[in-house]
Amino acid sequence: MDVKTNSASVISVLFLCLFLKTYFSLGADTISVNESVYGYSTIISAGSVFQLGFFKPGEAENYYVGIWYLKDPHKNIVWVAHRENPVTYSSELRISDGNLVLFNDLKIPIWSTNVRTTSSDSVRAVLLDSGNLVLTDGSNLSEPLWQSFDHPTNTWLPGAKLGYNKITKRSQVLTSWKNSEDPAPGLFSFKLDPRDNSYVILWNRSTKNWTSGSWNGETFGLAPEMTSYNIYEFVFVSNDDEIYCTYAINSSATNFSRHVMDVSGQIRQLTWLPAGNRWNLLWSQPRRQCDVYAYCGAYASCDEWRLPFCSCLPGFEPKVQSHWDSNDYSDGCLRRTRLQCGNNTIVNGEREKFLSIFNMSLPDNQQIVQATSLQDCEASCLNTCSCTAYAYESNNCSTWTGDLLNQRQLRADDSRGHTLYLRLAASEFPHLKRSSQNKKLYMLSILIVVIPCAACSVYYLRRKKRGTKDNRRSNKTVGLYDSEKHIRDFLHSGQLRVDEKKGIEVPFVVLDSILAATGNFSEGRHTNKLGQGGFGPVYRGKFPGGQEIAIKRLSSSSGQGLQEFKNEALLIAKLQHRNLVRLLGYCVEGDEKMLLYEYMPNKSLDFFLFDRKMCILLNWEIRFDIILGIAKGLLYLHHDSRLRIIHRDMKTSNVLLDGEMTPKISDFGLAKIFGGKQMEATTNRVVGTYGYMSPEYAIHGLFSIKSDVFSFGVVILEIISGKRNTGFYHSEEALSLLDYAWKLWNENKALDLIDPILRETCSSENEFMRCFNIGLLCVQDDPSDRPTMSNVVFMLGSESGSLPSPKQPAFLVKRSLSCRASFDEKPLSRNKLTDTLNEGR
Ligand SMILES: *[C@@H]1O[C@H](CO)[C@@H](O)[C@H](O)[C@H]1NC(C)=O
Ligand SMILES: *[C@@H]1O[C@H](CO)[C@@H](O)[C@H](O)[C@H]1NC(C)=O
Ligand SMILES: *[C@@H]1O[C@H](CO)[C@@H](O)[C@H](O)[C@H]1NC(C)=O
Ligand SMILES: *[C@@H]1O[C@H](CO)[C@@H](O)[C@H](O)[C@H]1NC(C)=O
């Protein structure tokens, strides 16, 4: 029909999109006696701000009376009259016996303001520009008989009080919708706690999930957002009758704002950006989605580093799949196989078993049980029918009865992690081989023991044969100089000879096991292809045991890329750093040449950074850590490793992210090794990626560690702005991100560069400015004006101290270039680039 809901984002940013076709206004802001609102008729506040009428939030034919912003394209609902009792299309809202009453299609009253008992011809309901619907019997609207502001649903508007009335002992409470298509009261509520003058979020009306901290005269201790910026003015009032807070907009920059108790369990303040014709999230609390109490519902766990955040525990499935699909998790999960507990017909045998789940934050409401051993603890749970799980640690046995709530999946190194033993029907176990943490161990055994074994025996046999020769060579100083020379010799030879394999310090993996792991590099519906790198496709492989690994396959058709393959196989195996991707093995058989890496579940940085949904996951803290991590990785390459290495292809798509968002520099195909004192070199073959190349390299083929610094500067600016350097082709504002950034910097509008999504989480303006400044220093035209990576790491880490002022950076990107995609991943030939540059001049 005409009104539909749309839950707009993966992370359940709830935007109601009401596609209105035929709403028409009664031309008034008032419902008087003998007038009514029905069907698609509405009333509109005097200043054309709010509209009141019937709306339909979901697929079902359920209609509600609500108030929404007239000009908001998403028609966000700010108030609902009758949240729990939907009506049909042929219902009617009118004044009856002195009250505003909603009659359903059978003319039965469904909802009423319920304040008067006698009828009066002068009673009317007026929709004000504040969004308040008032019922009045006279001309003075400040003294209403009833007002919607006293009965909020999930939204707190400017001018409304949210507090506690000491006389009536009633609170105004914001309660989330049940789910994005059902305005019935959900599990999360937001209200004032009069005992300590704080705001709290409650789960299921009772469990405290979050507190703002007490009002200290200026602000709430733990929610500094709820205070007077220049834009908003929060007022806290406590008198004999009531305690409340109210807020007002104090700026011409925006005209609307709202606080919403969202279905995600977060309280959010949004503000309208008239220029963008959209809402901007100012802040939300609890900040991390998994900090929301029981966000995923019963028998599901929340994982901060995965999307979607929620997944059912092993052996469970979503209670309502459609809600699960639309990120409405509160229904939680159900057992796939019922427990047979208490069924006396099964006397012995394995009815139920316990599955260990590692690295969990434990569920709520545990019971402490006396037990002297793990077996004891398990027996005690098994003997209680209602016991669903147990945990045993340092002689403490905890058990859970009933629903498991609020458990979180943590990273392996998180000290809050415990092992939870989950009770499941024995028949479930064949499906659930092992949980993720077991896989890691399993993987190691596969890689270290199983796979290389076949190769090892061959390898050692060969080695033995040549043993004497080898020994003679390695009698000299082993390591540094030797390996460097070896690598260079290796790189200059045109082919990968058998004896060269031993320069590669990672296990050889036989082709058959790779074919099995990738389903013969299948490209069908269940494709294992992760992407296309510069020199061939990258696949995901799954070894028996379940561990995943990434496999880069050199295109077998062309001889191109062999150099890069050798480069990478040798180099990366020699490099060990937290911020460099790890090579786990390689394979050379026939025409096939492959490199095996640790699999990065979070793909590459560009995937997050330039995706409007995913970038929400990169808050300021994470971005800063990523910048620092990349800087440390590059520092290691330039100065700290045994070899001096220039990466030559530093860009956001070559920064991979592991499960903890630690950046790992990858793709060493173009890297160059420099000997002892060598500082720069030239090449006739300019390779690299457009938009990240320093001018001296792109134009003269001259490269040094400072050309990596330039690329790193572009990466910093991309990370803090969320914009691609090459994303400005048709922009009137600027030629490139560097140009744009420089303009803002010069006009003292540096803060405008920040990724809009960060405005909420970037608590450190200082850190942002430092990153901006360093970014600009790195992209200076003259390489000697650019800092070294050790300078960069130092500057990033020093919280005070002024940085050098940047000069105008080098702008390489030209507006005329239109086919960006073809330049993004492929190496550029020097001629092509200079042609392009000449064209632009
Ligand atoms: C409402 O309608 C009734 C019956 O038609 C009429 O008697 C009454 O005067 C009307 N009231 C107003 C305020 O128009
Ligand atoms: C309306 O009521 C308010 C609050 O009682 C009062 O301050 C104001 O003077 C009244 N206005 C009129 C026009 O009577
Ligand atoms: C919320 O609490 C009520 C009783 O206080 C209980 O019946 C209900 O099951 C609870 N809801 C959930 C989802 O746990
Ligand atoms: C008890 O177990 C028997 C055998 O598996 C089964 O047929 C029966 O339905 C079970 N009863 C209950 C109440 O689960």
Distance 208 CA to ligand 4 centre (A): 40
Report the candidate in 172, 278, 270, 158 with the shortest Cα–Cα distance to residue 225.
Answer: 270
Does residue 143 line the site of ligand 2, with CB under 6 A?
yes
Residue that wins the pLDDT comparison between 383 and 504: 383
* Residue to mutate (ligand 4; options 339, 344, 345; most atoms within 8 A of CB): 345
* Residue to mutate (ligand 1; options 30, 31, 34; most atoms within 8 A of CB): 34
Q: Point out the ligand nearest to the CA of residue 96.
A: 1
Q: How far apart are CA 451 and CA 840, in angstroms?
A: 54
* Residue to mutate (ligand 4; options 335, 339, 340, 427; most atoms within 8 A of CB): 340
Alpha carbon nearest to ligand 2 atom 13, residue: 140
The 8-class DSSP code of residue 106 comes to T
Q: Residue range 111-138: average pLDDT?
A: 90
342 confidence band (pLDDT: 50, 70, 90): low
Which residues face 270 on adjacent strands?
258, 281
Residue that wins the pLDDT comparison between 78 and 324: 78
Alpha carbon nearest to ligand 2 atom 11, residue: 140
Over residues 191-208, the pLDDT tens digits come to 999 999 999 999 999 888
Distance 267 CA to ligand 3 centre (A): 21
Does residue 343 line the site of ligand 4, with CB under 6 A?
yes
Q: Residue range 583-592: average pLDDT?
A: 77
Q: How far apart are CA 735 and CA 813, in angstroms?
A: 7
Atom of ligand 4 nearest to the CA of 340: 14
What pLDDT is stored for residue 467 in this prediction? 35
Atom of ligand 4 nearest to the CA of 343: 1
The verdict on whether 328 is a catalytic residue reads no
Does residue 345 line the site of ligand 4, with CB under 6 A?
yes
Q: Point out the ligand nearest to the CA of residue 405.
A: 3
What pLDDT is stored for residue 406 in this prediction? 94
Positive or negative, the CA dihedral 714, 715, 716, 722 is: positive
Distance 205 CA to ligand 3 centre (A): 9
Residue that wins the pLDDT comparison between 442 and 174: 174
Does residue 122 line the site of ligand 1, with CB under 6 A?
no
Over residues 386-403, the pLDDT tens digits come to 899 999 998 899 999 989
Atom of ligand 4 nearest to the CA of 338: 14
167 confidence band (pLDDT: 50, 70, 90): very high
Which tokens is 815 given?
């507006």
What pLDDT is stored for residue 752 in this prediction? 87
Alpha carbon nearest to ligand 2 atom 2, residue: 142
* Residue to mutate (ligand 4; options 343, 347, 350; most atoms within 8 A of CB): 343
The answer to whether residues 471 and 547 touch, using CB atoms and an 8 Å cutoff, is no
Alpha carbon nearest to ligand 2 atom 7, residue: 142
Q: Residue range 752-775: average pLDDT?
A: 84
The answer to whether residues 25 and 34 touch, using CB atoms and an 8 Å cutoff, is no
CB-based burial label for 656 (10 Å; 0-12, 13-18, 19+): buried
Alpha carbon nearest to ligand 1 atom 9, residue: 121
pLDDT reading at 187 higher than 90: yes
Q: Point out the ligand nearest to the CA of residue 296.
A: 3
Q: How far apart are CA 674 and CA 652, in angstroms?
A: 24
Distance 660 CA to ligand 4 centre (A): 45
Atom of ligand 1 nearest to the CA of 121: 13
Alpha carbon nearest to ligand 4 atom 3, residue: 345
Residue that wins the pLDDT comparison between 242 and 542: 242
Helix, strand, or coil (residue 323): helix
pLDDT reading at 507 higher than 50: yes
The 8-class DSSP code of residue 447 comes to I
The answer to whether residues 279 and 155 touch, using CB atoms and an 8 Å cutoff, is no
Q: How far apart are CA 548 and CA 439, in angstroms?
A: 9
Q: What is the pTM of this model?
A: 0.57
The answer to whether residues 257 and 272 touch, using CB atoms and an 8 Å cutoff, is yes
Q: Residue range 168-194: average pLDDT?
A: 93
Over residues 461-483, the pLDDT tens digits come to 343 333 333 333 333 222 222 33
Q: How far apart are CA 428 and CA 563, in angstroms?
A: 50
Distance 398 CA to ligand 3 centre (A): 22
Alpha carbon nearest to ligand 1 atom 4, residue: 34
Report the candidate in 213, 232, 233, 231 with the shortest Cα–Cα distance to residue 223.
Answer: 213
Over residues 277-289, the pLDDT tens digits come to 767 667 788 877 8
Distance 99 CA to ligand 2 centre (A): 22
Q: Point out the ligand nearest to the CA of residue 294.
A: 3
814 confidence band (pLDDT: 50, 70, 90): very low
CA 471 to mean position of chain CA atoms = 53
For 294-330, b/e burial (b = at least 16 CB within 10 A) is: bbbbbbbbbbbbbebbbbbbbbbebbbeebbebbbbb
Contacts of 489 (CB under 8 A, 6+ apart): none
Q: Point out the ligand nearest to the CA of residue 139.
A: 2
Which residues face 423 on adjacent strands?
354
Alpha carbon nearest to ligand 1 atom 5, residue: 34
Atom of ligand 1 nearest to the CA of 33: 13
Q: How far apart are CA 584 and CA 507, in angstroms?
A: 7
pLDDT reading at 437 higher than 90: no
Report the candidate in 623, 612, 762 with the shortest Cα–Cα distance to residue 13.
Answer: 612
User: Beta-carbon neighbour count of residue 229 at 10 Å?
Assistant: 11
566 confidence band (pLDDT: 50, 70, 90): confident
Which residues face 335 on adjacent strands?
316
The answer to whether residues 549 and 583 touch, using CB atoms and an 8 Å cutoff, is no
Distance 114 CA to ligand 2 centre (A): 24
Distance 138 CA to ligand 2 centre (A): 11
731 confidence band (pLDDT: 50, 70, 90): low
Contacts of 125 (CB under 8 A, 6+ apart): 30, 31, 95, 100, 113, 133, 134, 135, 136
What pLDDT is stored for residue 23 in this prediction? 66
425 confidence band (pLDDT: 50, 70, 90): confident
Does residue 340 line the site of ligand 4, with CB under 6 A?
yes
Q: Point out the ligand nearest to the CA of residue 425.
A: 4
Over residues 658-714, the pLDDT tens digits come to 877 889 998 877 777 776 566 677 665 566 677 888 888 877 778 889 999 999 999
Phi, psi of 517 (to 5 degrees): -70, -25
Does residue 346 line the site of ligand 4, with CB under 6 A?
yes
What pLDDT is stored for residue 20 in this prediction? 39
Distance 300 CA to ligand 3 centre (A): 17
Atom of ligand 2 nearest to the CA of 143: 2
Distance 142 CA to ligand 2 centre (A): 6
Alpha carbon nearest to ligand 4 atom 7, residue: 345
Q: How far apart are CA 720 and CA 736, in angstroms?
A: 15
The 8-class DSSP code of residue 136 comes to E
Which tokens is 619 given?
């808050």
Q: How far apart are CA 271 and CA 254, in angstroms?
A: 7
Report the candidate in 168, 145, 170, 172 with the shortest Cα–Cα distance to residue 160.
Answer: 172
What pLDDT is stored for residue 468 in this prediction? 34
Atom of ligand 4 nearest to the CA of 344: 1
Residue that wins the pLDDT comparison between 497 and 778: 778
Residue that wins the pLDDT comparison between 526 and 86: 86
Residue that wins the pLDDT comparison between 339 and 823: 339
Percent pLDDT > 90 in the chain is 34
Does residue 96 line the site of ligand 4, with CB under 6 A?
no
Q: How far apart are CA 253 and CA 737, in angstroms?
A: 26
Distance 119 CA to ligand 1 centre (A): 12
Q: What is the largest CA-CA distance in the chain?
A: 112
Alpha carbon nearest to ligand 4 atom 11, residue: 343
Q: Residue range 645-654: average pLDDT?
A: 89
Over residues 596-619, the pLDDT tens digits come to 888 887 778 988 888 877 777 788
pLDDT reading at 267 higher than 80: yes
User: Beta-carbon neighbour count of residue 559 at 10 Å?
Assistant: 12
Percent pLDDT > 70 in the chain is 74
What pLDDT is stored for residue 615 in this prediction? 74
Residue that wins the pLDDT comparison between 643 and 42: 42
What pLDDT is stored for residue 261 in this prediction? 96
Strand-strand pairing, 592-598 and 548-553:
antiparallel
Distance 431 CA to ligand 4 centre (A): 22
Which tokens is 212 given?
């703002």
Segment of 410-419, 736-745, 828-837 carrying the highest mean pLDDT: 736-745
What pLDDT is stored for residue 176 in this prediction? 96
CB-based burial label for 488 (10 Å; 0-12, 13-18, 19+): middle
Over residues 81-102, the pLDDT tens digits come to 999 999 998 899 999 988 999 9
pLDDT reading at 751 higher than 50: yes
pLDDT reading at 824 higher than 50: no
What pLDDT is stored for residue 598 in this prediction? 83
pLDDT reading at 410 higher than 60: yes
Atom of ligand 1 nearest to the CA of 34: 1
Distance 121 CA to ligand 1 centre (A): 8
**Of 649, 658, 708, 755, which is the active-site residue?**
649
CA 229 to mean position of chain CA atoms = 27
Atom of ligand 2 nearest to the CA of 141: 1
pLDDT reading at 530 higher than 90: no
Task: For residue 201, give the H/E element and its range.
Answer: strand 198-203
Q: Point out the ligand nearest to the CA of residue 34.
A: 1
What pLDDT is stored for residue 11 in this prediction? 27
Over residues 249-258, the pLDDT tens digits come to 876 666 789 9
Question: Using omega within 30 degrees of 0 as the cis cutoff, is the peptide bond preceding 601 cis?
Answer: no
Alpha carbon nearest to ligand 4 atom 12, residue: 343
Q: Residue range 557-574: average pLDDT?
A: 67
Helix, strand, or coil (residue 783): helix
The secondary structure of 470-510 as a DSSP string is HHHHHTS--SHHHHHHHHHHHHHSSS--GGGGGG--S-B--
275 confidence band (pLDDT: 50, 70, 90): low
